Chains A and B, each alone.
Chain A
């Protein structure tokens, strides 16, 4: 299995802050890296696919970058609705695996 390691596990930030979450794959996964946002009691929502492609309807303050083993999700200016848990997922090989999640909390 390809291990996905996210950092940090939790993050406190303020509205308007720029935040970055990193995700490292245990082996190269090309650009088969997706980012999801999950709010309590809700299903995950796709934000970024193929490492850097913004899903339709997702605000442009979300950007993804990286390839190979190292990836980042950046939120340029945090909004109140962005406080949630973020997961990276590799879809390069079976089994598709997720990072452990990054919980973004209000400072």
Chain B
């Protein structure tokens, strides 16, 4: 059974870098069938897609965060990571990782399953 688990500091100071890791179990992160994604949800608010990573290492990001975000893969550990630089209080959120399945024929592109999420607070 595929499971994802986020990990990383729960508190980050303003202007510093937020770093999170998603550990995948039950499937190989190297599988060409899958992509892997990051999301966030500020407390009491809706969901925001941050970016995705293909098994081959291709990344694509939401334009509003593209200048500050990096998603990378650690195949030997079956993990992928999120780095967000120059954080502010607006980056306080629960961060989720998820597997992405994307096919052109038939057409679908969805995220499932998701990790349980980890709360990151930006505060001095």
> Are B112's CB and A55's CB within 8 A?
yes
Interface residue B106 (Cβ < 8 Å from any Cβ of A): yes
Which residues does chain B contribute within 8 Å of A11, judged by CB atoms?
none
Interface residue A50 (Cβ < 8 Å from any Cβ of B): yes
User: How many residues in A have their beta carbons less than 8 Å from beta carbons of B?
Assistant: 28
> Are B107's CB and A46's CB within 8 A?
no
Provide a sorted-by-A list of 20 A–B residue pairs whose CB atoms are within 8 angstroms: A31-B108, A32-B108, A36-B47, A42-B116, A43-B113, A43-B115, A44-B96, A46-B111, A46-B113, A49-B110, A50-B106, A50-B107, A87-B47, A89-B49, A91-B109, A94-B61, A94-B62, A95-B64, A98-B48, A98-B49
Q: A94-B60, A94-B62, A95-B62 are in contact. Are A44 and B47 (CB under 8 A)?
A: yes
> Are A95's CB and B96's CB within 8 A?
no
Residues of B in contact with A (beta carbons under 8 Å apart):
46-49, 60-64, 96, 102, 106-117
Tell me how far the C-beta of B121 lies from the nearest C-beta in chain A, rounded to whole angstroms: 16
A-B pairs with lowest CB-CB distance, top 9 = A91-B109, A95-B62, A46-B112, A49-B110, A43-B114, A50-B108, A96-B49, A98-B47, A34-B110
Q: A-side binding surface: helix, strand, loop or mixed? A: loop
Partner of B49, one of A38, A97, A101: A97
Which residues does chain A contribute within 8 Å of B116, judged by CB atoms?
42-43
Q: Give Cα A77 to B48, complex, Å.
A: 30
Which residues does chain A contribute within 8 Å of B106, judged by CB atoms?
50
Q: B-side binding surface: helix, strand, loop or mixed? A: strand
Partner of B46, one of A31, A50, A95, A100: A100
Q: Give Cα A95 to B65, complex, Å.
A: 10
> Are A46's CB and B117's CB within 8 A?
no
Chain B residue with the shortest CB-CB distance to A30:
B107
Which residues does chain B contribute within 8 Å of A32, judged by CB atoms?
107-109
Chain B residue with the shortest CB-CB distance to A35:
B110
Which residues does chain B contribute within 8 Å of A27, judged by CB atoms?
none
Interface residue A79 (Cβ < 8 Å from any Cβ of B): no
Which residues does chain A contribute within 8 Å of B64, judged by CB atoms?
95
Tell me how far the C-beta of A103 lies from the nearest C-beta in chain B, rounded to whole angstroms: 11
Which residues does chain B contribute within 8 Å of A44, judged by CB atoms?
47, 96, 111, 114
